[in-house]
């Protein structure tokens, strides 16, 4: 397996957890390169369901080394809880987890500020996990890194400086209580003691592994249209969810990455606020949401659902340099008589084939749909592309033509086994 990036090509929740789990079977290292515990990657193995927020999905494969890169913001308590969850289910973490010493730490004041900002202004749809404020501190050069957390004097100095800034904001602007230095220092010093054994310079380790021809899989979180640069700003996350984030978030140069794969659903979903041109009517929304179990793995919030939007996926193919896409949840469309595909947006007398940056255009545009016949057959037991109903194969072929790249894998259920390579 070449060194490969797997990332979301829509608004997140595309089924990346399952896909990364499948590809991890052929990997030596699996690396998370951005986001934090606002991600929720779900993997179903038989009767067991694993929901991972920070640790890469490759942890479910024996012998795979999992890395949390420098581009990730890490909540130590959430991380330790996740390790305990895996251990309780018989998944040994041990020396198979590495954390970049340059990754930034989420602290309680980040979560508090995140929640207060969401209440005080027009909603963005944040998970309130402190992700945005932690990235803000990183860019403002105020953040506390893993290496800082592990150095006693450095941590005390930086924590005190942060509280000197954050507590007046909490008290005078938001009218709420600040944080105690002694309490936070004691709590997070204890976390440091537990996490220390995982922390190292992961950039060095990954580059040495690549020199030795080890296989590295880069795991993206969220999706391209939630990325801070190419998403529906400001209704986005605070990191680069594109393939480019794999280089900046791990210390592995782009010339060392061989392939980029994008994951898409056979329809479209998004969680939280923001424009969504192809959103379903309420009745169809309810039916697809129930069949697809479209509730957030991290927040439990119901996902908004809509028709497949080739405009956003074609844009993702371009900005990520996607070599192939994986289509998940094809089976959710099994009961429909006909299926729509968005091929463009009409606004102001113009038809947009490329994804517009204007939120006003996205909020007011009218999707230009193509309609194809449904297949009205259960696909959950299908094990090959040729075994799909003819209309399902036709649907996938049309998606390929509209987005400008090939489909390499198709998923027709949540289990590992309900997946097959296209053309096989």
**Could you tell me the domains of the chain?**
4-99+198-261 (3.40.440.10), 104-195 (1.10.300.10), 264-421 (3.90.170.10)
Separation between Cα atoms, residue 168 and residue 166, nearest integer Å: 6
Alpha helices of 261-338 — where are they, by DSSP H? 282-292, 310-320
pLDDT at 297: 64
Residue whose token pair is 């979903």: 269
- The tokens for 292 are 């697809």
Q: Which residue has the tokens 């209580």?
A: 177
pLDDT at position 424:
42
Ranges of beta strands (E only) in 12-137 are: 29-32, 41-45, 48-52, 65-68, 73-74, 97-100, 104-105
Greatest alpha-carbon pair distance for the chain in Å reads: 66
How many angstroms separate the CA atoms of 162 and 284, rounded?
Answer: 48
Give, in degrees to the nearest 5, the angle at Cα 392 between 263 and 389: 135
Joined together, the tokens standing for residue 327 give 């289509």
Pair 265, 328: CB distance under 8 Å: yes
List pLDDT tens digits, range 342-398.
Answer: 999 999 999 999 999 999 999 999 999 999 999 999 999 999 999 999 999 999 999
CA distance 29 to 184: 34
Residues 6+ apart with CB under 8 A from 401: none
Cα(156)–Cα(160) distance, integer angstroms: 6
Burial class (CB in 10 A: 0-12, 13-18, 19+), 356: middle
Rounded Cα distance between 171 and 154, Å, is 26
Q: How far apart are CA 286 and CA 413, in angstroms?
A: 19
Angstrom distance (rounded) from CA 104 to CA 135? 8
What span, in angstroms and rounded, lies between the C-alpha atoms of 243 and 7?
7
Integer angstrom CA distances of residue 224 from 116, 152, 316, 339, 381: 26, 38, 6, 24, 31
CA-CA distance, 103 to 368, in Å (whole number)? 43
**Which residues of the chain carry a pLDDT beneath 70?**
1, 45-47, 120-125, 297-299, 423-424
Decide the pairing of beta strands 216-219 and 29-32: parallel
Angle subtended at Cα 421 by Cα 420 and Cα 424, rounded to the nearest 5 degrees: 100
Catalytic site positions: 13, 41
First vs last Cα of the chain: how many Å apart? 18
Check: CB of residue 40 under 8 Å from CB of residue 300.
no
């Amino acid at each position: 397996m070449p060194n490969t990036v797997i990332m979301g090509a829509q608004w997140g929740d595309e089924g990346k957890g399952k896909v990364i789990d499948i590809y991890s079977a052929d990997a030596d290292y699996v690396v998370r390169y951005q986001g934090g515990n606002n991600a929720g990657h779900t993997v179903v193995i038989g009767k067991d369901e694993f929901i991972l927020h920070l640790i890469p999905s490759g942890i479910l494969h024996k012998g795979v080394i999992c890395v949390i890169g420098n581009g990730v913001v890490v909540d130590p308590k959430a991380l330790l809880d996740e390790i305990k969850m895996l251990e309780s289910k018989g998944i040994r973490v041990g020396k198979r987890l590495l954390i970049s010493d340059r990754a930034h730490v989420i602290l309680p004041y980040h979560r508090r500020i995140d929640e207060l900002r969401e209440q005080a202004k027009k909603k963005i749809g944040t998970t309130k996990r402190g992700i945005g404020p932690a990235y803000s501190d990183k860019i403002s050069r105020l953040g506390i890194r893993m290496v800082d957390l592990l150095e006693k004097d450095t941590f005390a100095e930086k924590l005190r400086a942060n509280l000197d800034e954050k507590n007046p904001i909490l008290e005078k602007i938001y009218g709420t209580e600040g944080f105690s230095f002694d309490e936070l220092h004691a709590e997070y010093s204890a976390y440091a003691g537990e996490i220390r054994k995982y922390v190292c310079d992961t950039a060095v380790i990954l580059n040495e592994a690549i020199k030795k021809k080890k296989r590295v899989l880069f795991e993206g979180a969220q999706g391209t249209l939630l990325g801070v640069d190419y998403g529906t700003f400001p209704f986005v996350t605070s990191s680069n969810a594109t393939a480019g984030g794999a280089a900046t978030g791990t210390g592995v140069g782009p010339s060392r990455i061989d392939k980029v794969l994008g994951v898409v659903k056979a329809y479209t979903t998004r969680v939280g606020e923001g424009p969504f041109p192809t959103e379903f009517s309420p009745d169809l929304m309810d039916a697809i949401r129930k069949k697809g179990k479209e509730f957030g793995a991290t927040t439990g919030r119901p996902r908004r659902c809509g028709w497949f939007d080739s405009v956003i996926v074609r844009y993702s193919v371009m900005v990520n340099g996607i070599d192939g896409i994986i289509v998940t949840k094809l089976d959710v469309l099994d009961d429909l008589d006909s299926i729509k595909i968005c091929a463009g947006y009409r606004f102001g007398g113009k038809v947009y084939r490329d994804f517009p940056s204007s939120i006003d255009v996205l909020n007011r545009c009218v999707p230009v749909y193509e309609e194809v016949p449904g297949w009205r057959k259960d696909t959950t037991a299908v094990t090959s592309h040729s075994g799909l109903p003819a209309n399902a194969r036709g649907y996938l072929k049309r998606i390929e033509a509209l987005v400008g790249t090939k489909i390499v894998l198709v998923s027709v259920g949540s289990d590992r086994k309900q997946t097959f390579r296209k053309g096989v």
